[in-house]
């Protein structure tokens, strides 16, 4: 009888331990935001505004036929799109995928997509001293589509895609990529908080940079077609942002 009791207790303890281990190994849910622009822009997730201001200006971009077009040609306003703050945790892998078409005009163009880390929790950034864009947070990386054959430039390259980490200027932490204009292509940008590494893939070509450890709790993505003159256009067919926790579990 005593052996039976001991055996039953052993099975109960084993089951309890197994249940705890199994529970701890359950994966965290993948957080996903998908936008196909078949309807109006989601105003709870995206802030659309004029360059230099956090005023709402959703009419400054054109949404039609399942795409959104960013260009000052639309109504004379230089627009941008900014995501609301997205919460991240240690071990998260943040992925942004876009299908995009880039066009530059005959003057200058430096449109791009950037990621910032921030402590903000609301859609509208909390205003800080200095230039308006400092309110976006701390810059993490910038993918910049540059076409400027006239000016003396601080950043490297002229007719090029610049993939820049925050310390690009003093650590040469950047890479230059042959641009693709006037045709649709796929971009995938990944930030891995486990390694603090950023990767940028354009179609089948991938590039990697090292970054710093994020410590402000949230991130934002910022997209714009900045330039001078006419004909600078960023057209986006779809955007998908995912946050997946891949922290190693014991």
Report the pLDDT value the prediction gives residue 167, as an integer from 0 to 100. Answer: 95
Q: Is the pLDDT of residue 218 over 50?
A: yes
Report the pLDDT value the prediction gives residue 11, as an integer from 0 to 100. Answer: 46
**Residues 19-27: what's their mean pLDDT?**
53
For the chain, the domains span 31-245
Nearest CA to 72 out of 54, 55, 57, 56 is that of: 57
Alpha-carbon distance 78 to 72, whole Å? Answer: 5
Report the pLDDT value the prediction gives residue 131, as an integer from 0 to 100. Answer: 84
Report the pLDDT value the prediction gives residue 69, as an integer from 0 to 100. Answer: 96
For the chain, how many helices (H) and strands (E)?
2, 17
Report the pLDDT value the prediction gives residue 21, as an integer from 0 to 100. Answer: 46
Cβ partners under 8 Å of residue 175, min gap 6: 163, 207, 209
Instruction: For the chain, give the percent of residues with pLDDT over 90.
Output: 75
Q: Is the pLDDT of residue 34 over 90?
A: yes
pLDDT digits (tens, 9 = 90+) for 43-90: 999 999 999 999 999 999 999 999 999 998 877 889 999 999 999 999
> What is the pLDDT of the chain when averaged over all its residues?
89
Report the pLDDT value the prediction gives residue 22, as an integer from 0 to 100. Answer: 44
> Where on the phi/psi map is residue 196: left (φ > 0), alpha (ψ -120 to 50), or beta?
left
Q: Is the pLDDT of residue 9 over 70?
A: no
Q: Is the pLDDT of residue 10 over 70?
A: no
Reduced to 3 states (helix: H, G, I; strand: E, B; else coil), residue 2 is helix
How does residue 102 score in pLDDT terms, banded at 50, 70 and 90? very high
How far is Cα of residue 201 from the mean position of the Cα atoms in its chain?
A: 13
Report the pLDDT value the prediction gives residue 94, as an integer from 0 to 100. Answer: 98
How does residue 224 score in pLDDT terms, banded at 50, 70 and 90? very high
Report the pLDDT value the prediction gives residue 8, as an integer from 0 to 100. Answer: 44
Q: Is the pLDDT of residue 23 over 60?
A: no
Alpha-carbon distance 84 to 45, whole Å? Answer: 5
Report the pLDDT value the prediction gives residue 133, as an integer from 0 to 100. Answer: 84
Q: Does residue 6 or residue 212 have the better pLDDT?
A: 212
Alpha-carbon distance 163 to 140, whole Å? Answer: 11
Please check whether residue 85 is in contact with residue 219, taking contact to mean a CB–CB distance below 8 angstroms: yes
**31-245: which CATH topology?**
Jelly Rolls (2.60.120)
Q: Is the pLDDT of residue 122 over 90?
A: yes
Report the pLDDT value the prediction gives residue 25, as an integer from 0 to 100. Answer: 55
pLDDT digits (tens, 9 = 90+) for 150-206: 767 788 888 999 999 999 999 999 999 999 999 999 999 999 999 999 999 999 999
Reduced to 3 states (helix: H, G, I; strand: E, B; else coil), residue 122 is coil
How does residue 27 score in pLDDT terms, banded at 50, 70 and 90? low
């Amino acid at each position: 009888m005593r052996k039976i009791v001991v055996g039953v207790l052993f099975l109960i303890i084993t089951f309890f331990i197994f249940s705890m281990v199994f529970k701890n190994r359950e994966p965290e849910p993948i957080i996903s935001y998908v936008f196909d622009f078949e309807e109006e822009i989601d105003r709870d997730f995206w802030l659309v505004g004029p360059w230099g201001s956090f005023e709402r200006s959703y009419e400054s971009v054109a949404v039609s036929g399942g795409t959104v077009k960013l260009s000052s040609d639309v109504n004379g306003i230089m627009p941008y799109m900014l995501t609301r703050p997205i919460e991240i945790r240690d071990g998260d892998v943040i992925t942004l995928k876009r299908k995009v078409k880039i066009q530059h005009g005959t003057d200058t163009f430096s449109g791009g997509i950037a990621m910032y880390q921030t402590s903000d929790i609301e859609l509208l950034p909390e205003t800080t001293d200095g230039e308006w864009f400092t309110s976006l947070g701390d810059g993490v990386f910038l993918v910049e589509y540059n076409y400027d054959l006239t000016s003396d430039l601080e950043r490297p390259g002229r007719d090029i895609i610049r993939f820049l980490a925050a310390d690009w200027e003093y650590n040469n932490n950047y890479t230059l990529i042959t641009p693709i204009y006037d045709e649709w292509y796929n971009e995938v940008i990944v930030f891995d908080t486990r390694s603090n590494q950023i990767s940028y893939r354009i179609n089948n070509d991938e590039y990697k940079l090292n970054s710093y450890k994020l410590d402000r709790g949230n991130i934002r993505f910022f997209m714009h077609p900045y330039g001078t003159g006419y004909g600078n256009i960023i057209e986006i067919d779809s955007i998908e942002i995912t946050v997946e926790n891949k922290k190693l579990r014991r």
